[in-house]
Amino acid sequence: MKATARAHTNIALIKYWGKRNESLILPTNSNLSVTLDGFSTETTVDFQEDLKADTFFLNKQVIEGDALRKVAVFLDKVRALSGKKIYAQVDSLNHVPTAAGFASSASGLAALAAASTKAIGLSLDNTELSRLARQGSGSACRSIYGGFVEWQMGEREDGLDSYAVQVADESHWDIRIAAVVLSKTMKKISSREGMRRTVETSPFYAGWIEQTSKDIQEIKQAIADKDFEKTGSIAEANCLRMHATTLGANPPFTYWQDTTMRVMQTVQDLREQGIPAYFTIDAGPNVKVMYLPEDENKVKSRLQVIEGVEDIIISKPGSGISYL
Ligand code: FM0
């Protein structure tokens, strides 16, 4: 009982930053991302009668500890859905053109959801798959779809109405996203821990929630209109507001490093010179820069000379899950 699926990672333009239910992974706000064609995970799940436990290989290396537990806990949900108590060997390959810490739980859990349900004989539609992937890692529910994707927070306690929908497919709008990889990264606070601490302790959190529900309505209109400056400026402001909440947490923290700020400054300089480019940053020091295809050379040449930048990986809007 074996199946293979591929999923691409995504970058949020309106961030998911906080849970209203930790065990079901239900968010405090609806959020929106672009699926990226430059980063993917390909996962084969093979359920075998003679296995005594799940095993997990990532890029051909045996994985144990927390990462294995995350996979096994997810497969428990798949077993419960199917009614079959059978363990699996999971083989994942991360196609990330660098070693610099860009592996993503979004593509990983989306590929795992697709491959494991198919392998065990369930046939879920994309809504069901998104809802299931969400319970592995919140941002994974968006990677079921390509293009521009909204995770609708839902209202129900049981999470049945909390899943992603496609806002526009990958052919809607040819924009580019450069992932700017920094050469040194410090010990990080996981997004899971960072968002928990922020929700519990940051006095700025209420302001974040209030503004984000407006941002998502506006950015959906801007994406429909292909209004790049509006889309970029809403995304950049939303990112800055999310990161501001972490400075208000107790104990306070930030994901930014010196190079993170140099990249942000360079993007703002590019705009002053008339080149529309905007940044966004997730729970780590690397920066993603959005721009239009005609500005690629100018943007790339400015980013790659920044001190502390190791690599630049360029994506277009990518596709949703596929079976191999
Ligand atoms: O992607 O605790 O999905 O909207 O990347 O596994 O549900 O790893 F910037 C932070 C992603 C959070 C914003 O959190 O958390 C976004 C973030 P989990 P995730």
| Residue range 39-48, pLDDT digits in tens | 999 999 999 9
Closest to 44 (Cα-Cα) out of 34, 59, 31, 32 = 59
Residue range 4-18, pLDDT digits in tens? 999 999 999 999 999
The residue whose CA has the least distance to atom 7 of ligand 1 is 138
Q: What's the rounded mean pLDDT across residues 231-247? A: 98
Pocket test for ligand 1, best of 9, 11, 132, 282 (most atoms within 8 A of CB): 282
Residue 319: predicted pLDDT: 98
Which atom of ligand 1 is nearest to 16's Cα?
Answer: 4
Range 292-313 average pLDDT: 96
**What's residue 187's pLDDT?**
64
pLDDT grade for 188, boundaries at 50, 70 and 90: confident
191 lines ligand 1 (CB under 6 A): yes
For residue 282, the ligand 1 atom closest to its alpha carbon is: 9
pLDDT at residue 98 above 60? no
Counting from 1 in the atom list of ligand 1, the atom nearest the Cα of 25 is: 7
Distance 48 CA to ligand 1 centre (A): 32
Going from N- to C-terminal start, the domains of the chain cover: 2-172, 176-315
**pLDDT exceeds cutoff 70 at 244:** yes
pLDDT of residue 263: 98
pTM exceeds 0.95, yes or no:
yes
Q: Which of 191, 255, 279 to mutate to test the pocket of ligand 1 (most atoms within 8 A of CB)?
A: 191
What is the pLDDT, as a whole number, of residue 5? Answer: 98
Whether the pLDDT of residue 101 is over 80: the answer is no
Cα(192) to ligand 1 centroid in Å equals 7
Q: What is the number of other CB atoms lying within 10 angstroms of the CB of residue 66? A: 9
> Side chain identity at 235, as an amino acid letter?
A
Asked if residue 103 has pLDDT above 80, the reply is no
Q: Quick one: average pLDDT of 26-53?
A: 97
Tell which atom from ligand 1 comes closest to the C-alpha of 138: 7
Q: In whole angstroms, give the CA distance from residue 251 to residue 253.
A: 7
Nearest CA to 17 out of 256, 313, 249 is that of: 249
Ligand 1 atom 17, closest CA? 282
CA distance 224 to 84: 43
The structure tokens 């929106």 sit at 32
Asked if residues 145 and 164 have their Cβ atoms less than 8 Å apart, the reply is: yes
Other CB atoms within 10 Å distance of the CB of residue 216:
21
The per-residue pLDDT for 96 is 78
- 226-244 average pLDDT score: 98
Under 8 Å between Cβ of 159 and 152? no
Report pLDDT for 206.
Answer: 96
Superfamily of domain 176-315 in CATH is GHMP kinase, C-terminal domain (3.30.70.890)
- Per-residue confidence at 19, pLDDT binned at 50, 70, 90? very high
* pLDDT, mean of residues 175-196: 90
Q: What is the pLDDT of residue 283?
A: 93
Closest CA to 37 of 170, 216, 169, 162: 170
Q: Report, as an integer, the average pLDDT of 236-243.
A: 98
Structure tokens at 30: 């609806």
Tokens of residue 12, six digits: 């949020």
Q: Is the C-beta atom of 9 inside 6 A of ligand 1?
A: no
Which token pair is 129? 């798959």
Residue 205 pLDDT exceeds 70: yes
Average pLDDT over residues 173-197: 91
CATH architecture of 2-172: 2-Layer Sandwich (3.30)
Backbone φ and ψ for 167, nearest 5 degrees, come out as: -90, -40
Give 3-state DSSP helix, strand, coil % of the chain, rounded to 5.
40, 25, 35
Backbone phi, psi, residue 114, to 5°: -65, -50
DSSP per position, 132-191: HHHTT-GGGGGGGS-SEEEEE----TT-TT-EEEEEE-TTS---EEEEEEES-------H
Write down the pLDDT at residue 183. 83
Q: Are 106 and 139 a contacting pair, CB within 8 Å? A: yes
Separation CA 269–CA 298 (nearest Å): 12
Closest to 88 measured CA to CA, from 126, 117, 124, 122? 117
283 CB-near residues (< 8 Å, 6+ apart): 188, 189, 190, 191, 194, 195, 255
| The pLDDT of residue 102 | 62
Q: Count Cβ atoms below 10 Å from residue 76 Cβ, excluding itself.
A: 12
Average pLDDT value for residue range 165-169: 98
Amino acid at 254: T
What value does the mean pLDDT of the chain take?
96
State residue 272's pLDDT score: 98
The two structure tokens encoding residue 275: 């080149």
From 89, 152, 157, select the one nearest 119 (Cα to Cα).
Answer: 89
139 close to ligand 1 (CB < 6 Angstrom): yes
Q: Quick check: CB of 29 below 6 Å from ligand 1? A: no
- Closest ligand 1 atom to the C-alpha of 242? 9
For 57-66, 96-105, 208-217, which range has the lowest pLDDT when averaged over its residues? 96-105
